[in-house]
């Protein structure tokens, strides 16, 4: 891993129509991906919450917040995988100030 690891926060929203196993599989997939490319911090599953606006005609989504550290190149790859993963409605990675 590169010497310059940054701290990040990933917030993503999973389709609320997925069953528990499908939702858990998505959470596990990104947990494993982050562990393989950096250092996983805490994961907070906020559960189903009302969205500010409809996404894919759905009024709610299953929110997951993940804190992690990685090389600055990794979030672009993370976004790519989030974008092609069935069931992920939205995702946002932010750099955490020191």
| DSSP letter, residue 56 | T
Residue 1 pLDDT: 43
Element (H, E) at 75: helix 74-84
Residues of the chain with pLDDT under 70: 1-3
Residue 89 pLDDT: 97
pLDDT digits (tens, 9 = 90+) for 48-62: 999 999 999 999 999
Q: Looking at the domain that runs over 6-59+78-95, which CATH code has it been given?
A: 3.30.70.60
Residue 3 pLDDT: 57
Residue 91 pLDDT: 97
| Nearest residue to 10 via CA among 95, 98, 97 | 95
End-to-end CA distance of the chain: 19
């Amino acid at each position: 891993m590169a010497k310059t690891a940054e701290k990040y926060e990933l917030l993503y929203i999973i389709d609320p129509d997925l069953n528990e196993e499908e939702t858990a599989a998505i959470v596990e997939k990104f947990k494993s991906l982050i562990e393989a490319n950096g250092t996983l911090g805490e994961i907070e599953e906020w559960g189903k919450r009302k969205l500010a606006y409809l996404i894919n005609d759905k009024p709610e989504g299953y929110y997951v917040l993940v804190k992690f550290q990685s090389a600055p190149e990794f979030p672009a790859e993370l976004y790519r995988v989030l974008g092609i993963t069935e069931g992920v409605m939205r995702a946002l990675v932010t750099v955490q100030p020191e």
